[in-house]
Amino acid sequence: MYSLVIQGGRPLHGAVSISGAKNAVLPLLAATLLTREPCVIRRVPNLTDVTYMGRILAELGAKVKFQGDTITVTANRVKGVAGYDLVRKMRGSICVLGPLLGRLREAQVSLPGGCIIGPRPIDLHLKGMRALGARVTIEKGFVCAKARRLVGSELFLGGRSGPTVLGTANVMMAAALAEGVTVLESAACEPEVVDLADFLNAMGANIAGAGSPTIRITGVPELHGAEHEAIPDRIEAATFAIAAAATQGEVTLRGAQPQHLTAVLDKLQEAGAKVDRQPGGLTVKATRRLRPTDVTTQPYAGFPTDAQAQMMVLMTQAPGISIITERIYESRFMHVSELARLGANITLEGPSAVVKGATPLSGAPVMASDLRASAALLIAGLVAKGETRVKRIYHLDRGYAKIDEKLRGLGAKVERVQE
Q: Contact positions toward ligand EPZ, by CB under 6 A?
A: 23, 26, 91-92, 120-125, 159-161, 164-167, 188, 305-306, 328-329, 371-372, 399
CB of 329 to ligand EPZ, least distance (A): 5
Enumerate the β-bridge partners of residue 40: 72, 227
CB of 93 to ligand EPZ, least distance (A): 9
Q: Which is nearer to ligand EPZ, 145 or 361 (CB)?
A: 145
**Number of CB atoms found within 10 A of residue 302's CB:** 16
CB of 44 to ligand EPZ, least distance (A): 14
Asked if 100 and 146 count as a contact pair (C-beta separation under 8 A), the reply is no
CB of 113 to ligand EPZ, least distance (A): 12
Asked if 49 and 22 count as a contact pair (C-beta separation under 8 A), the reply is yes
CB of 387 to ligand EPZ, least distance (A): 27
Q: In what order do the strands lie in the sheet with 227-229?
A: 63-67, 70-74, 39-42, 227-229
Q: Which is nearer to ligand EPZ, 122 or 210 (CB)?
A: 122
Q: Which is nearer to ligand EPZ, 147 or 188 (CB)?
A: 188
d(CA 374, CA 178): 41
**Residue 64 gets which letter from DSSP?**
E
Q: Which is nearer to ligand EPZ, 29 or 290 (CB)?
A: 29
Peptide bond into 358 cis (omega under 30): yes
Catalytic residue at 144?
no
- ∠ CA 362-364-366 to the nearest 5 degrees? 125
Q: Which is nearer to ligand EPZ, 165 or 241 (CB)?
A: 165
Helix, strand or coil for residue 262? helix
CB of 375 to ligand EPZ, least distance (A): 9
**Residue 324 gets which letter from DSSP?**
E
Q: Which is nearer to ligand EPZ, 235 or 361 (CB)?
A: 235
Asked if 42 and 278 count as a contact pair (C-beta separation under 8 A), the reply is no
From 39, 115, 144, 189, active-site residue: 115
**Residue 311 gets which letter from DSSP?**
H
Q: Which pairs count as long-range contacts for 58-62, CB under 8 Å and 24+ apart, including other chains?
A: 59/83, 59/86, 60/33, 60/96, 60/100, 62/32, 62/33
Residues serving a catalytic function are 115
